Chain A
Amino acid sequence: MNFTFRRKRISGILTVVPANVRSFVEEMKNFNFPEARSLKLKEVMGFDKHRLVEPGVCISDLAVFGLEHLFSRGLLGPSDLDALILVTQSPDHFIPPTSNIIQGRLKLKSDMLCMDINQGCSGFIIGLVQAFLLLEQESIRKVAVVNADVLSRKTSPKDRNSYPLIGDAASITIVERDTEDSRIHANLKMDGTRNEILMIPAGGFRLPSTPETAVLNDVGDNNLRARDHLRMDGSAVFNFVQVEVPPLIEALLSQAGVPMNAVDYFFCHQPNRFMLQKLADKMRVPYAKMPSNVVENFGNSSGVTIPTVITFNMKERLLKEKLKVCLAGFGVGLTWCAMLLDLGFLDFNNIIEYQ
C-alpha cells in the first residue's frame, strides 16, 4: 500500500538505551554450545554487547526519562504535544494504554490524543505514517512518536537463537508540519498468514500464562525456551527479508521517481549484521550506505533499531545537513515497509543512557 505525504518533517530524534551493558562472551556459558562455535557466530552475526533493562524497568520508564530529558533542555515544550503515539509490543499493562500512563506521569495536557500501536520491527515506520496522517488535522501541530520495547524480559537467556541479539530501548521522534513543499513516500505490506514466525505464544488471552507455560523446553539446536518467551523462526525470517524487502524498496523508489544511487543512506531495521549485508548485496548497495552496527553495540530492540541506527551513526551530521534517506522495517506480523524522505537540520539527534 502506497502513501504520499506533503509538507511533513521529522524535527528531532532521541534514543534512550539502558546503561546496563551485557556482553556475548560473558553470556556464552548460558548456552549449550561449544565456545568455538559461539565465537564463530559472534563474528558473523555481529553479536557483542547489548543493552538490557534491569528487572522491573518498563517502557514507560524509558519514555518518561527521554521526554523529561527533552523538556528539561528546552528541546520540546510539554504543552507543544498534540498527540503521543506509542509503538510497542511490551506495554506496562494490558489495560490502560501505556501512552496514557506516559501522558499522566508527565502531566501533559488533556487536550491531546494518546494511542498505543502493537507493532514490532516495522513499528517505527508505521508510527510515522500514523503521525503524518494526524498532522492533516488543523488541531494537531506536533506529534511524538514513541517507539519502545523491553523484550529481553520475554526472551529466554538459554535461547542462543534470540537472547544474544535482543536489546531494550526507546526512541522519541518529533514530527511536525514542514514549511517547505516536501514529499515523503511510504510503502507498507502485511501478511498475517505467517504470523507465527515471530511470536510470544503464551501470556495473552488465547493462551494465558500458567506455571506450565513458564517451563523451559528443549526446542532443538540445544536451545531452551518456554511458551512465555519470544519464539523466532530465524531461517523463515531470513528468507522472508531476502525475498520481500528488495522489491518493496525498488517499488518505493520507482513510485517516488528516485534512483537507488540518489539515496544517501538506507537506515534499516537491525536484526543482525549478516542479514543486512546480504540485503545490501542483493540491492547492490555499498555496506557504508546501509549501516549494520546496532546489534553489536546495543542489540535488536525491534522497531527502535531504526532511530538507533540514525542517532548512533549520524548524530552530528543530521544537525547540520539534510540527506535523502530510505528507512526499511521488516518482521513481526509479518509486516514490511519502507519510507523515503529528506532527513536533516534536526533540532536534536542524540542517544542517552537510562540510569
Chain B
Amino acid sequence: MKTVAEILKEIRPEFDFAASKDFIADGMLDSFDVVTLVAMLDKNFGISIQGVDIVPENFKNYEMIEALLRKSGVKQ
C-alpha cells in the first residue's frame, strides 16, 4: 500500500509537497489533479471518498487529506 506522500509524488513529481501548507493555493494541485488523487486514494485504501467531500479545502495539505481518509473509513 502506498502512502499519501507517494501518491502525491506520482501525480505531481515536480513539487515538494512537504514544504507546502496549502497545495491548492500554491498551485500544486489543480481540480483535475484532485480528481486523480481521489481515484488513487480510493483504489489504494479500498474506500470511496464521498462526492460531497471532494472540495478543494479537503486537499489543502497532509492533515486535511488524512482527516478525510479517516472520515472515509481508513483506520490510521
Contact = CB atoms under 8 A, between A and B. Distances in A.
Interface in B1-19: 11-12
Contacts of B33: 37
Interface string B38-72: 11000000001011101110000000000000000
B11 A40 contact: yes
Contacts of A44: 35-36, 39
Interface stretch (A148-156, A238-246, A252-260, A303-311): A238-246
Contacts of A274: 35, 38-39
Nearest to A160: B32
A41 B54 CA distance: 16
Interface residues of A, number: 23
B35 A45 contact: yes
B31 interface: yes
B52 A235 contact: no
A241 to B, nearest CB: 7
B30 A221 contact: yes
A221 B31 CA distance: 8
Max count, chain B CB within 10 A of own CB: residue among A37, A220, A275, A282: A37
Nearest to B32: A41
A282 B30 contact: no
Q: Which range holds the interface residue count of chain B? A: 10 to 19
Contacts of A239: 51-52, 54-55
A161 interface: yes
Contact of A242 (B31, B39, B54): B54
Nearest to A239: B55
A241 B39 CA distance: 18
A278 interface: yes
A281 interface: yes
Contacts of A43: 39
Interface string A42-60: 0111000000000000000
Given A41-B35, A44-B36, A235-B55, A281 B50 contact: yes
A234 interface: yes
A279 interface: yes
B52 to A, nearest CB: 5
B71 to A, nearest CB: 14
A221 B48 CA distance: 26
B36 A281 contact: no
A221 B52 contact: no
Contact of B50 (A220, A235, A275, A282): A282
Contacts of B35: 41, 44-45, 274
B57 to A, nearest CB: 11
A161 B31 CA distance: 9
A242 B11 contact: no
B54 A278 contact: yes
Contacts of A41: 32, 35-36
A37 B51 contact: no
Interface in A246-290: 274-275, 278-279, 281-282
Nearest to B14: A34
Contacts of A279: 51
Nearest to B31: A235
Interface in A171-196: none
Nearest to A223: B30
Interface string A78-122: 000000000000000000000000000000000000000000000
4 A-B pairs closest in CB distance: A242-B51, A278-B51, A44-B39, A281-B48
Interface of B: 11-12, 30-36, 38-39, 48, 50-52, 54-56
26 contacts: A37-B12, A37-B32, A37-B33, A37-B36, A40-B11, A40-B36, A41-B32, A41-B35, A43-B39, A44-B35, A44-B39, A45-B32, A45-B35, A160-B32, A161-B32, A221-B30, A234-B31, A235-B31, A235-B55, A242-B50, A242-B52, A242-B54, A275-B51, A278-B48, A278-B50, A282-B52
